Structure 1
Amino acid sequence: MALNDFVSGVSDLDLVCELAAPPDPRVLADAQSQDLDVIYVLRGELEKPVHEARSFAWGREGVLHTERRGDLVPVLWEQLRAYAITVRGEPPNPPVTPAEVVTYCRENLVEYWKPLLQQVQARRSGIGDGAIGRDAILWVAPGPARLWHTINTGAIVGKSQALHLAGAHWPDLAAPLGEVAAARRDPAVLLTREHAEAALELGRRVLDSA
């Protein structure tokens, strides 16, 4: 929503809620929704460096979790600092440096996206039999592209914009990546093995350039 890339029925809303005190967990559980991805922190946590901050609960896909901290990472701190829409209270200004954001993006590429791309690569034969589904393409294609853009510019962009920017940088991938971006908003846009291959190739190039 904040990056002007919200897709109804596809996107969720990413929220950070700063509270004066932990409420009854049952109240938080009742507040969860399938389209909310929310992290709860206590007052003052957003003023700390991200490696010192702690959350006390988080919710995703309608379920509240209290067994471990939510994902407080430098990219989130930068999103809150530069892009967040403040619903209530003072706008957050968490301390974070460009170097912290870039380091996190590079680590995330290696630790999360590289293994995932390898898994998808191993299953790439035949999209028709469900080996690589539509949802997988819509997830795998823009993820590394967003990190690539942040590493190179410091800016954070939405999934659709990241796909178009990557297509402009690698023109041979522009057509299939543009169609993947269109498919995010239009279920009638068919995705084929060509789009899966473009997503994998984009991921490889991003990893090579990072």
Structure 2
Amino acid sequence: MVVPPGADEAIEAYFAAVDAEAPGLVEGIYLVGSVALDDFHPGASDIDFVAVTGDVLSDADVAALERAHVALTPYLRRQFFDGLYVTWRDLGDDPARSRPGACVEQNRLRRRVAGTGDPVAWHTLASRGVTVRGPRREEVRIWTDRTVLAAWTHRNLDEYWRVWLRRSSRLRSRPGLATLAPTGPVWGVLGVSRLHYTLATGRITSKRGAGEYARQAFDVRWQRIVDECLRIRTGAPGRSRYRSPLHRRRDALDFVAMAIEDAHRIDDFAGPDVDE
């Protein structure tokens, strides 16, 4: 897969910066997230990566990477270049056993403590990752385990999404007001649908793929809010399916609450560990 327009300039700028600050340190770069899942929207989607080094990062390495990411900022257009720094050894093992490294969140690099890798990133890389430096992903030993992925997904539903729902349900709060904007319902409805899809299939999908899945997986009463979120996510022409942001917000929060409960009722999924 070729890196799509809107991501290629940022990737080139990253290589220039990181190779100037730390020559030879980054041996592999793989794109995951929306780029890998064919749901990238220039200027709106983040660029998610997994960077691989030969050994655990030293303090000097982390400082050099921090300077590189600061230098990259002017090339990012209202988007984040976020990801993980791991070793080849880390990729071949459960991320819960990964060694210390670094991560980038909202363009800010920080230390990552041992055992805090993301199994979704490992699974996405193994099945759909886009190689931009280093050996092809098919040639790299990458850990996958659908039982561990399912357990992580259930925890994420409770530790992140239930908290998000509780906070967003208070209208007179920053999270509550955010759900009145078009992106708020999209984040909740399609985000929880992605996790439901993973528990049902053992695979990883994009936000758009999650919406398409949700149209088929849930009762027809939810189709309106799902279609509205797909319209916003894809930038499709046409008017909103809701006259009132308050009504859209209510449907979105109701959907998230329903989908969390329904996801926890799914039996262990069947099928291969990664997408074929």
2:133 partner SS: coil
Q: Out of 14, 32, 46, which is 1:12 matched to? A: 46
Q: How far is 1:8 from its partner?
A: 1.5
Q: Out of 228, 249, 255, which is 1:179 matched to? A: 228
What fraction of aligned residue pairs are identical, expressed as a percent? 25
TM-score by length of 2: 0.67
Cα-Cα RMSD: 2.7
Q: Which protein shows a greater Rg?
A: 2
Amino acid at match of 2:235: D
2:132 is the alignment partner of 1:84: no
Give me the whole-angstrom Cα distance separating, in 2, the residues matched to 1:11 and 1:131.
19
Q: Out of 39, 58, 64, which is 2:103 matched to? A: 58
Q: Can you give the 5+ residue segments of structure 1 that lack an aligned partner in the other structure?
A: none
- Alignment deviations for residues 57-93 of structure 1 (CA, whole Å, 9 cap, x no partner): 1112222112646951222221121121121222143
**Corresponding residue for residue 64 of structure 2:** 27
2:50 is the alignment partner of 1:2: no
Give me the whole-angstrom Cα distance separating, in 1, the residues matched to 2:183 and 2:171.
14
TM-score by length of 1: 0.86
Amino acid at match of 1:72: G
**Cα gap change, 1:3 to 1:155, in 2 (>3 Å):** same
**Corresponding residue for residue 7 of structure 2:** none
Give me the whole-angstrom Cα distance separating, in 2, the residues matched to 1:130 and 1:86.
35
Amino acid at match of 1:157: T
Say how many residue pairs are matched.
209
1:86 partner SS: strand
**Cα gap change, 1:71 to 1:52, in 2 (>3 Å):** closer
Q: Out of 189, 201, 204, which is 2:254 matched to? A: 201
Give me the whole-angstrom Cα distance separating, in 1, the residues matched to 2:179 and 2:118.
32
Q: How far is 1:30 from its partner?
A: 3.1
Q: How far is 1:154 from its partner?
A: 0.9
- Alignment deviations for residues 161-191 of structure 1 (CA, whole Å, 9 cap, x no partner): 2122112222211122112111123397657
**Cα gap change, 1:41 to 1:130, in 2 (>3 Å):** closer
Amino acid at match of 1:158: S
- Alignment deviations for residues 7-65 of structure 1 (CA, whole Å, 9 cap, x no partner): 12111111010012436334312332452012111332111222211241111222211
Give me the whole-angstrom Cα distance separating, in 2, the residues matched to 1:130 and 1:66.
29
Amino acid at match of 1:78: H
**Cα gap change, 1:178 to 1:69, in 2 (>3 Å):** farther
Give me the whole-angstrom Cα distance separating, in 2, the residues matched to 1:130 and 1:105.
24
1:25 partner SS: helix
Q: Which runs of 4+ in 1 moved over 6 A?
A: none
1:8 partner SS: coil
